[in-house]
Amino acid sequence: MCNSASCDKNANCLTTEPFKFKCTCKENYVGNGTTCYGNILERLKEINDNHPRFRRDLQLAIRIINRLYLEPMTKHGPFTLFIPNDRAFRGVMRARGFENFVQNSDRALQILRQHILIGQFRLEDLQAYDQFYTLQGNQALLQIRVAKDVFKYKLHGASAKAKVVGRNFVASNGMIHIVNNVLTMRPDILGDTQRSALDLIKLEAKYNRLQTLVTASGMEDIFDNPNTTVFAPENSAWDALPTGTMDYFTQDQEGKEKLQTILMHHVVPQKVGVTSLINTQKLKTLADTNFAIKVNEQRAAGVGCFKYYHI
Return the SS3 of 281. coil
**Same domain flag for 11 and 60:** no
Q: How many residues does the chain have?
A: 311
d(CA 7, CA 33): 6
Query: How many other β-carbons are positioned within 10 Å of the β-carbon of residue 238?
Result: 17
Sheet holding 302-310, edge to edge: 282-284, 290-299, 302-310
Inside any domain, residue 189: no
**Same domain flag for 146 and 212:** no
What's the mean pLDDT in 183-197?
72
Question: Residue 259: pLDDT band by 50, 70, 90 thresholds?
Answer: very high
What's the mean pLDDT in 148-169?
92
What CATH number is attached to the domain comprising 276?
2.30.180.10
Q: Give me the chain's average pLDDT, please.
A: 87
**Same domain flag for 42 and 173:** yes
**Which secondary structure element, helix H or strand E, spans residue 23, and what is its range?**
strand 20-25
Percent of the chain with pLDDT over 90: 57
**Same domain flag for 42 and 154:** yes
**Same domain flag for 226 and 272:** yes
Percent of the chain with pLDDT over 70: 90
What DSSP state is assigned to residue 40? H
Inside any domain, residue 137: yes
Give the chain's radius of gyration (CA, Å).
23
3-state helix, strand, coil in the chain (%, to 5): 40, 25, 35
Q: What is the DSSP string of 101-156?
A: HHHSHHHHHHHHHTTEEES---HHHHTT-S-EEBTTS-EEEEEEEGGGTEEEEEET
Return the SS3 of 178. strand
**Same domain flag for 225 and 152:** no
What CATH number is attached to the domain comprising 12?
2.10.25
pLDDT score of 111 more than 80:
yes
Is pTM, for the whole model, over 0.75? yes
Inside any domain, residue 237: yes
Count the domains in the chain: 3
Inside any domain, residue 261: yes
**Helical H segments across the chain, by residue range:** 40-50, 59-68, 70-75, 86-93, 97-103, 105-113, 123-126, 197-203, 208-217, 220-224, 235-239, 245-251, 253-264, 274-278
Inside any domain, residue 50: yes
Cα dist from 14 to 9, 32, 45, 277, whole Å: 14, 13, 28, 37
pLDDT at 290: 84
Inside any domain, residue 191: no
Inside any domain, residue 98: yes
**Same domain flag for 158 and 270:** no
- Residues 33-53 have pLDDT tens digits of 999 999 999 999 999 999 999
**Residue 213: which domain range?**
197-310
Residues 193, 195, 199, CA angle at the centre, nearest 5°? 145
Query: How many other β-carbons are positioned within 10 Å of the β-carbon of residue 12?
Result: 16
**Same domain flag for 165 and 45:** yes
**Same domain flag for 2 and 133:** no
d(CA 308, CA 52): 44
Phi–psi pair at 255, nearest 5 degrees: -65, -40
What's the mean pLDDT in 257-283?
86
pLDDT at 301: 33
d(CA 232, CA 219): 14
Which of 176, 190, 185, 227 lies closest to 104, judged by CA?
190
Quick one: 94 exposed, middle or buried, by C-beta within 10 A (0-12, 13-18, 19+)?
exposed
**Same domain flag for 170 and 216:** no
Most confident of 46-60, 94-108, 113-127, 291-305: 46-60
Inside any domain, residue 281: yes
**Same domain flag for 27 and 85:** no
**Same domain flag for 244 and 160:** no
